[in-house]
Amino acid sequence: MNQAAQIYWDEFWKDEEKPENVSAWMFGVSPDELAQLVIDGKKTATCSGHVFYELDNEPLPKVGEYSIILNSKEQPVAMIKIVEVSIVPMNEVTEEFAVAEGEGPYEYWKSAHEEFFTSELQTVGLEFSEDMLLVCERFTLIDVKRS
Protein backbone atom coordinates (compact mmCIF):
# COMPACT_ATOMS: atom_id res chain seq x y z
CA MET A 1 0.00 0.00 0.00
CA ASN A 2 1.42 3.37 -0.96
CA GLN A 3 1.78 6.30 1.45
CA ALA A 4 -1.30 8.18 0.20
CA ALA A 5 -3.49 5.09 0.70
CA GLN A 6 -2.01 4.50 4.17
CA ILE A 7 -2.75 8.09 5.21
CA TYR A 8 -6.32 7.78 3.91
CA TRP A 9 -6.78 4.50 5.80
CA ASP A 10 -5.39 5.93 9.04
CA GLU A 11 -7.43 9.15 8.80
CA PHE A 12 -10.66 7.26 8.06
CA TRP A 13 -10.40 5.14 11.20
CA LYS A 14 -8.91 7.90 13.42
CA ASP A 15 -9.55 6.81 17.01
CA GLU A 16 -11.38 3.61 16.14
CA GLU A 17 -9.64 0.27 16.04
CA LYS A 18 -8.66 -0.37 12.42
CA PRO A 19 -9.48 -3.67 10.75
CA GLU A 20 -6.35 -5.66 9.96
CA ASN A 21 -7.07 -6.62 6.37
CA VAL A 22 -6.81 -3.85 3.80
CA SER A 23 -5.34 -3.65 0.33
CA ALA A 24 -4.98 -0.80 -2.14
CA TRP A 25 -5.36 -1.33 -5.88
CA MET A 26 -6.73 0.09 -9.09
CA PHE A 27 -9.01 -1.48 -11.64
CA GLY A 28 -7.18 -2.95 -14.64
CA VAL A 29 -8.28 -1.43 -17.93
CA SER A 30 -9.81 1.96 -17.07
CA PRO A 31 -8.98 2.73 -13.44
CA ASP A 32 -10.50 6.22 -13.34
CA GLU A 33 -13.72 5.30 -15.13
CA LEU A 34 -14.29 2.16 -13.08
CA ALA A 35 -13.49 3.92 -9.80
CA GLN A 36 -16.05 6.58 -10.70
CA LEU A 37 -18.65 3.86 -11.31
CA VAL A 38 -17.98 2.62 -7.75
CA ILE A 39 -18.31 6.16 -6.36
CA ASP A 40 -21.55 6.66 -8.31
CA GLY A 41 -22.97 3.40 -6.91
CA LYS A 42 -23.20 1.80 -10.36
CA LYS A 43 -20.42 -0.74 -9.78
CA THR A 44 -20.91 -3.09 -6.82
CA ALA A 45 -19.00 -6.10 -8.10
CA THR A 46 -15.74 -7.04 -9.77
CA CYS A 47 -13.99 -10.18 -10.92
CA SER A 48 -10.51 -11.39 -11.66
CA GLY A 49 -8.94 -14.53 -13.00
CA HIS A 50 -8.35 -17.18 -10.34
CA VAL A 51 -5.18 -18.29 -12.13
CA PHE A 52 -3.54 -14.92 -11.44
CA TYR A 53 -3.88 -15.44 -7.68
CA GLU A 54 -2.18 -18.81 -8.11
CA LEU A 55 0.61 -17.43 -10.32
CA ASP A 56 1.28 -14.51 -7.96
CA ASN A 57 0.93 -16.72 -4.87
CA GLU A 58 -1.64 -14.23 -3.54
CA PRO A 59 -4.42 -15.12 -1.12
CA LEU A 60 -7.97 -14.93 -2.42
CA PRO A 61 -10.07 -12.03 -1.16
CA LYS A 62 -12.28 -12.72 1.85
CA VAL A 63 -15.61 -11.39 3.05
CA GLY A 64 -15.06 -8.54 5.47
CA GLU A 65 -11.81 -7.32 3.94
CA TYR A 66 -11.43 -3.70 2.94
CA SER A 67 -9.88 -2.26 -0.20
CA ILE A 68 -8.82 1.24 -1.04
CA ILE A 69 -9.57 1.99 -4.67
CA LEU A 70 -6.84 3.97 -6.41
CA ASN A 71 -7.12 6.12 -9.51
CA SER A 72 -4.68 5.98 -12.43
CA LYS A 73 -2.32 8.31 -10.52
CA GLU A 74 -2.29 5.79 -7.66
CA GLN A 75 -4.19 8.18 -5.39
CA PRO A 76 -6.97 6.85 -3.14
CA VAL A 77 -10.49 7.75 -4.23
CA ALA A 78 -12.75 5.37 -2.31
CA MET A 79 -12.93 2.52 0.19
CA ILE A 80 -14.97 -0.65 -0.24
CA LYS A 81 -15.72 -3.69 1.91
CA ILE A 82 -16.10 -7.16 0.42
CA VAL A 83 -19.49 -8.68 1.21
CA GLU A 84 -19.38 -11.81 -0.98
CA VAL A 85 -16.74 -13.88 -2.76
CA SER A 86 -17.38 -16.80 -5.07
CA ILE A 87 -15.36 -18.76 -7.61
CA VAL A 88 -17.33 -19.24 -10.81
CA PRO A 89 -16.45 -20.43 -14.32
CA MET A 90 -16.66 -17.43 -16.64
CA ASN A 91 -19.34 -19.06 -18.77
CA GLU A 92 -21.52 -19.46 -15.65
CA VAL A 93 -21.36 -15.83 -14.47
CA THR A 94 -24.93 -14.61 -14.24
CA GLU A 95 -26.27 -11.64 -16.13
CA GLU A 96 -27.14 -10.04 -12.78
CA PHE A 97 -23.51 -10.25 -11.62
CA ALA A 98 -22.21 -8.92 -14.93
CA VAL A 99 -24.58 -5.95 -14.72
CA ALA A 100 -23.47 -5.34 -11.10
CA GLU A 101 -19.98 -4.74 -12.49
CA GLY A 102 -21.49 -1.52 -13.82
CA GLU A 103 -20.03 -1.53 -17.30
CA GLY A 104 -23.12 -2.33 -19.36
CA PRO A 105 -25.21 -5.28 -20.49
CA TYR A 106 -24.12 -8.90 -20.25
CA GLU A 107 -22.93 -9.20 -23.86
CA TYR A 108 -20.64 -6.19 -23.45
CA TRP A 109 -19.33 -7.59 -20.15
CA LYS A 110 -18.63 -10.96 -21.75
CA SER A 111 -16.76 -9.59 -24.77
CA ALA A 112 -14.78 -7.02 -22.76
CA HIS A 113 -13.72 -9.62 -20.19
CA GLU A 114 -12.86 -12.19 -22.85
CA GLU A 115 -10.65 -9.62 -24.58
CA PHE A 116 -9.02 -8.56 -21.29
CA PHE A 117 -8.38 -12.09 -20.04
CA THR A 118 -7.10 -13.26 -23.43
CA SER A 119 -4.54 -10.47 -23.40
CA GLU A 120 -3.53 -10.93 -19.75
CA LEU A 121 -3.23 -14.71 -20.08
CA GLN A 122 -1.03 -14.38 -23.18
CA THR A 123 1.47 -12.36 -21.13
CA VAL A 124 2.01 -15.42 -18.93
CA GLY A 125 1.92 -17.98 -21.75
CA LEU A 126 -1.63 -19.21 -21.12
CA GLU A 127 -4.71 -19.35 -23.31
CA PHE A 128 -8.19 -18.08 -22.58
CA SER A 129 -11.04 -20.56 -22.19
CA GLU A 130 -14.68 -19.75 -21.57
CA ASP A 131 -14.72 -21.93 -18.47
CA MET A 132 -11.74 -20.27 -16.79
CA LEU A 133 -12.38 -19.73 -13.10
CA LEU A 134 -13.13 -16.20 -11.95
CA VAL A 135 -12.97 -14.80 -8.46
CA CYS A 136 -16.21 -12.85 -8.27
CA GLU A 137 -16.51 -10.23 -5.54
CA ARG A 138 -19.42 -8.12 -4.41
CA PHE A 139 -18.67 -5.09 -2.32
CA THR A 140 -20.18 -2.15 -0.50
CA LEU A 141 -18.93 1.41 -0.82
CA ILE A 142 -17.74 2.52 2.61
CA ASP A 143 -16.30 5.95 1.89
CA VAL A 144 -15.44 8.37 -0.88
CA LYS A 145 -12.25 10.32 -0.35
CA ARG A 146 -12.78 14.04 -0.44
CA SER A 147 -9.98 16.09 -1.94
pLDDT on residue 16: 86
What's the predicted TM-score (pTM) here? 0.92
DSSP class of 8: H
pLDDT in tens, 66-94: 999 999 999 999 999 999 999 999 999 99
Chain-centroid distance, C-alpha 102: 12
Q: Per-residue pLDDT averaged across 96-122, rounded? A: 94
pLDDT in tens, 111-130: 999 999 999 999 999 999 99
Q: Is the pLDDT of residue 147 over 80?
A: no
Out of 15-29, 35-49, 86-100, 111-125, least confident range: 15-29
Backbone dihedral angles phi then psi of residue 108, each to the nearest 5 degrees:
-65, -45
CA distance 26 to 119: 18
CA distance 21 to 1: 12
- CA 49 vs CA 15, 76, 135, 144: distances in Å: 37, 24, 6, 27
pLDDT on residue 84: 98
Label residue 20 by pLDDT band (50, 70, 90). Answer: confident
Domains (range + CATH), the chain: 3-144 (3.10.400.10)
pLDDT on residue 28: 82
